[in-house]
Amino acid sequence: MPCTDCDCGHSVCCERELGLIRCVMFDLGNVLVLYNTPLFYSRLESRKRNETPVREILDGKYRSAFVDFELGKISAGEFFDRTRYTLQLDMSFEEFMSAFIENGIMTPDPVMLELKRGLKERGMKLILVTNNNPAHTEFIRRQYPEVMYGFDYEAVSYEMHMRKPDDPEIFIRPMVSLGLKAENCLFIDDNKQNVTAFRNLGGLGYHYNVRDRDDHLRISVDSVIRERRHFIAMCKNLGLINGWPEI
């Protein structure tokens, strides 16, 4: 039966994998940094001039522009132009980018950052594997350097021109670079499909589900607290950390 401690998808993960894990691979959004996507949508809602639902640009019929932005195929200006056309936005590029990245859109999770730092101090290899665009990534690098601290490899979709879960090379390339196999790695992501893709390579995966049950775009505080506890318990069971305070 599945592991009940950590939802890793393995039957006896923490016993079987004990001592094998040499690397933790982190997703960025809604793992290390919490995204307030509804806030971004609300900023666009009053500035659009048609009936197209705002959420369609990131998570629906018109998401191709966002995917292209994350793949590094288009610039921020082109992403804005396509989004402005789709929603008939009455706003400038500068206003759009401010709505997209500033004033509460991204908030680092101090508990997960402290866990990452503790793993690094214990000699664990750290890899970032994220589907992300240059606007968000550069803002985080500039405003929150602690988020990017300690990574031995940063696999960012727009820099590598590949995305999870469609291209397993985004996992494979950093592992090969660091002399690792999938069985040596634990991957944490808020998207279940991404976790499944990594498990299919033979690695250990944890679905870090912090979304609200009634609105999958909204982050639930209760879910964040629960997932922190479960993932820290998993790391303890795997022998990756010890003496970690209860949260």
Other residues' Cβ atoms within 10 Å of the Cβ of residue 9: 17
The string of pLDDT tens digits covering residues 11-50 is 445 544 556 899 999 999 999 999 999 999 999 999 999 9
Q: Is the pLDDT of residue 246 over 70?
A: no
pLDDT of 7 above 90: no
Q: Does 60 have pLDDT greater than 90?
A: no
Task: Return d(Cα 238, Cα 83) in angstroms, integer.
Answer: 44
- Percent of the residues in the chain that have a pLDDT greater than 70, as a whole number: 89
The structure's pTM equals: 0.90
Task: Give the pLDDT of residue 3.
Answer: 57
